[in-house]
Structure 1
């Protein structure tokens, strides 16, 4: 993995976050406007990244094998991260309910909103496609084990799985199916998804900047005392353990690099919504998302630099 390329991409994304921050400071951005940005990124731009990855990659048995491997790795990775974070939360002396909440914030990263655009920028269309598959594994863990942990005392419900049915997943299915059928998309469709995929990173970073400005304006830099736990686990310990484990696995270079990069993502954005719905502690999630996102601009290049010594 080229550290300079990663650092450049992170710097550019950081600048775009600043644009969003100052835009929100100058022009009031309401809830509806933010919702439009989220819908465009998740339902238009990210699916276009996935389809663009399929259309611009020779879909061979080797690629399909990589897709299957990275999906399996993602599910195992996130389950292991939850066990690891929960163990450390208990060692830290957190009470049962609070320990579960800290586990969710520490174990699950923003592989979709930030990870997919970042991997597409650094590794090209195929990198964006593999990142989307990795994110699909995260979604499965969030809406099964994740919700089970948040709903303290509640059992798992099958209706939770309906959240797994979304536009990015549909794009993965459509893309892989079209590859199996040797479907050659028309030039208009290819150009359309290529242009729309370019919206993913700028709009996602602008949204994060807007969100950060509003969160900091409302809460300032006030943090809860235990914020060190999810940030340390999410941005440092999990990427470090990922590097060690992957050094023993015979993975292709691109697959390995995508997993390494995604292991260092900040806390996932959806945590704020889930904490608001299933707990009375939304501010904890909001603060963790904000500060982990800011700090990740420094730690992601550090993870890439560390990877250069392992591989």
Structure 2
């Protein structure tokens, strides 16, 4: 992997985040505009990049085996990050009431909004495909183990599994289904997916930039002392552990690179939404997401330089 491409991609991401921050000055960022942006990203851009990746990659039985490996590794890495975050919070903030938030922010990354477009840019269609499968593992972990951890009464409800039935997940299932049966959609459909896929990175980065400015205006100061734990674990400790782990795995270089890049992603964008839903610290979720995204612009190329 060429490091000039890595720095170029990170630079472009930084510019798009900055543009999002500037755009936020031109309109009020409320629940309606937030829902609109999230809907465009989750329901149009992300499914398009997933379908585009699947339709531009030759998928056979061996590919399906690799997809299963990526999914399993994703769940293992997510749980490892949660465990490390929990151990760090118990070590440094034993009496904290936010151990649950710290654990989830340490293990679950922004593998959808940032990870899939970045893997597509650095690795190509195969990278985007495996990144989407990795993100599906994050979703599974979030809406099962994550919900169980964040709830105070520790009761799991199958109603939370409804969140797994979303457009990106449907796109993965549909795309793999037509690939498995060697069904070729019309050329116009493939071209539409390719063009809409180009929306993913700009829209996601604009959204992050808007979050940065919105949080700056609020000047949130809660949980300032504790947020260093999920940031350090998510951006440095977990990727280092994953880099050591993948050395013992006999997988294609594209898969190993995708797994490593996805492990370096900043904290989950949906964290503040999840925390609000289950009466956890929503401000901590938003603040950690934004700050870890900014720090990740430095740590991602650094970690890739060290481990690739």
Distance 1:81 1:220 in 2: 25
Describe the superposition over 1:226-270 as per-residue Cα deviations: whole angstroms up to 9, x where unpaired.
Answer: 111111111110011111111111111000000100111111011
Cα pair 1:44 1:196 within 8 Å, conserved: yes
Normalised by the size of structure 1, how large is the TM-score?
Answer: 0.95
Q: How many aligned residue pairs are there?
A: 308
Equivalent residue for 2:174? 174
Normalised by the size of structure 2, how large is the TM-score?
Answer: 0.96
Is the partner of 1:268 in helix, strand or coil?
coil
Equivalent residue for 1:76? 76
- The answer for unaligned runs of 5 or more in structure 2 is none
Answer yes or no: is 1:91 the counterpart of 2:91.
yes
Equivalent residue for 1:163? 163
Describe the superposition over 1:47-97 as per-residue Cα deviations: whole angstroms up to 9, x where unpaired.
Answer: 111111111111122221211110011011111221222122212233374
Is the partner of 1:226 in helix, strand or coil?
coil
Equivalent residue for 2:241? 241
Answer yes or no: is 1:55 the counterpart of 2:55.
yes
Residue 220 of structure 1: CA displacement?
5.9
Structure 1 residues 143-292: aligned runs within 5 Å: 143-219=143-219, 224-292=224-292
Distance 1:293 1:168 in 2: 22
Residue 207 of structure 1: CA displacement?
0.9
Are the structure 2 counterparts of residues 135 and 299 from structure 1 closer, same or farther at C-alpha, using a change threshold of 3 Å?
same
Residue 133 of structure 1: CA displacement?
0.4
Cα pair 1:97 1:152 within 8 Å, conserved: no
Residue 201 of structure 1: CA displacement?
0.2
Describe the superposition over 1:94-123 as per-residue Cα deviations: whole angstroms up to 9, x where unpaired.
Answer: 337421221111111110111111111111
Distance 1:29 1:102 in 2: 27
Residue 3 of structure 1: CA displacement?
2.1
Are the structure 2 counterparts of residues 63 and 46 from structure 1 closer, same or farther at C-alpha, using a change threshold of 3 Å?
same
Runs of 4+ in 1 over 6 A off after TM superposition: none
Distance 1:281 1:85 in 2: 16
Cα pair 1:115 1:265 within 8 Å, conserved: yes
Is the partner of 2:124 in helix, strand or coil?
helix
Distance 1:206 1:42 in 2: 14
Residue 215 of structure 1: CA displacement?
1.0
Are the structure 2 counterparts of residues 263 and 280 from structure 1 closer, same or farther at C-alpha, using a change threshold of 3 Å?
closer
Is the partner of 1:5 in helix, strand or coil?
helix
How much is the aligned-residue C-alpha RMSD, in angstroms?
1.5
Distance 1:145 1:159 in 2: 14
Cα pair 1:59 1:179 within 8 Å, conserved: yes
| Structure 1, 97-106 or 264-273: larger mean CA deviation | 97-106
Equivalent residue for 2:122? 122
Distance 1:63 1:189 in 2: 23
Distance 1:29 1:88 in 2: 35
Equivalent residue for 1:37? 37
- The answer for unaligned runs of 5 or more in structure 1 is none
